[in-house]
Amino acid sequence: MASGPSRTVPCSVLPLLLLLAGVARAAGNFYQDVDITWGDGRGKILGGGDLLTLSLDRASGSGFQSKNQYLYGRFDMQIKLVPGDSAGTVATFYLSSQGSAHDEIDFEFLGNASGQPYTVHTNVYSQGKGGREQQFRMWFDPTADFHTYSVLWNPTHILFYVDGTPIREHRNREAATGVPYLRSQAMRVYASVWDAEEWATQGGRVRTDWSRAPFVASYKGLAASGCASQDAAACANSNGAWMYQELDATALDRLQWVQKNYMIYNYCTDTWRFKDGAPPECASK
């Protein structure tokens, strides 16, 4: 659990607290903040560093990673997804450590045939074990403009946001359940666009129309505020506002609204997959 005082920071005052804490989340510059790590030129930094595009064609996708690693923090990215018939494509924004026992926090955006909605796929891995999927539709067209996708990660919980609205909460229940929480491995921020034709769209039944390639997703406004130390004990005592942020009553209402109206899959309620009962971290308390 977190060291220091336990307190709730209402979402409405978070920007002010971040400024007071000296960790303002002003958008950075892609030239300074990331490395394009694969794609043979299919990833491009534009606009003096304000915009980054990732493209996919039949030969390859592309991706980038942050120069810094973080242990706890808040991470925002503005993304405009692949427009039109994007069946078989996956665009991502996620945090991950390295190795077979890695930790990971995922946003994946599963394309679809023209006129059909995107699936926003979320997952949480701890010590190499994932399988904690929740999926959503959005209440807007994510290809028409940029929208902000955010991850907040602190010692007590992980929150997923879309345009400031919480869509998912994953709590630290390690003490009660023995399920490892993400608390010791520093993670980088990653993004990619890649070919998932075999499974992404209706289980692979809708194939990619490669005549429409290249498929391009656009990224801007990366804001990463977190503990960049490799010392887990030091990061556990960070004083960033993200260390104490929780959902207030208004945010909890919004979370419930999204999950009631826009969630299309929740592993915790998948009785076919978990015939002997939901995984222990799904407990409500």
Alpha helices in 9-97 (DSSP H): 14-20, 30-33
- Choose, from 104, 197, 246, 281, the residue flagged as catalytic: 104
- Choose, from 108, 197, 246, 281, the residue flagged as catalytic: 108
Asked about 133 being catalytic, the answer comes back as no
* Whole-number Cα distances in Å, 34 to 113, 161, 186, 190: 31, 22, 16, 9
Asked about 104 being catalytic, the answer comes back as yes
78 beta partners: 148, 220
**Is the distance from CB of 238 to CB of 227 less than 8 angstroms?**
yes
Spatial separation of the C-alpha atoms in residues 173 and 27, rounded to whole Å: 33
Active-site residue numbers?
Answer: 104, 108
